[in-house]
Amino acid sequence: MAEAQIHPTAFVEDGAKLGKGTVIGPFCHIGAEAVIGKNCELMSHVVVTGATTIGDNAKIYPHAVLGGDPQNGRHKGGHTTLEIGKNCTIREGVTMHRGSDNSIGKTVVGDDCMFLAYAHVAHDCILGNHITFSNNVMIGGHVVIGDHVIIGGGGAVHQFVRVGHHAFVGGLAALVGDLIPYGSAIGVHAWLGGLNIIGMKRSGLERAEIHALRHAVPMLFDRSKPVRERAIDVLAAYPKSKAVADMISFIQSDDNKRSFCTPKMGSGNMAGV
């Protein structure tokens, strides 16, 4: 820890590991099992507790609490972890909990993520890379979120729900069903309002793939058959589209434990499709 800078009012417990160039600001509390990478900045009043690992170049703002016990009544106090990747920005009042010992035992956050003020990541969640949570976003336990997902302010995701990569969840939306990759969910409870066209363009997805998805999604959710049966028809209709195949793989995965986020009944054409 000799090469880290620690403010005199901060408390760093014996056993904590701090990387070169890391700065621990005033009134921070770093637990004995914490491992913090290189060139991180913890501004002030930050708490890092439990078996929490934070990657290089993190910037953590006041009153964030990382690695707290899971809010899970079945957790019996076993050793669990929180893993946060590199280059993450964690704003004021953000909370992230460790995994629970009756589940996968870890909460994982990928690289290059941004969590705005008072966002919450619950126990046993798995988050990919380049994710943005706006202010006051809340996700329940066991949620899986793919790369490049954006969740608008006050958005909430129900426990065990999956959010596919490059999807968008609108502000104040309450998502209770799995959201397909590239999907755009809005409303309370959130419904599938179309595709995240802007996000797809920003990510460099080819025009032909976007075109295929815009035709495939209405076909997938036309209600003539259950979604999983329609998925087979969609895949047959667009056999050369990697993006469609990726979306159908998400639909057919054995990991889903909840229903899918679908369009509103009688909504006609979906926005963004």
The alpha carbon of 30 is separated from its chain's Cα centroid by a whole number of angstroms, namely: 24
Nearest alpha carbon to residue 35 among 82, 94, 91: 82
Q: Point out the residues that are catalytic.
A: 123-124, 141
Nearest alpha carbon to residue 164 among 118, 188, 200: 200
Phi, psi of 210 (to 5 degrees): -60, -45
d(Cα 260, Cα 271) in Å, to the nearest integer? 18
DSSP letter (8 states) at residue 270: P
Query: 27: buried, middle or exposed (CB in 10 Å: 19+, 13-18, 0-12)?
Result: middle
Place of tokens 């047959």: 236
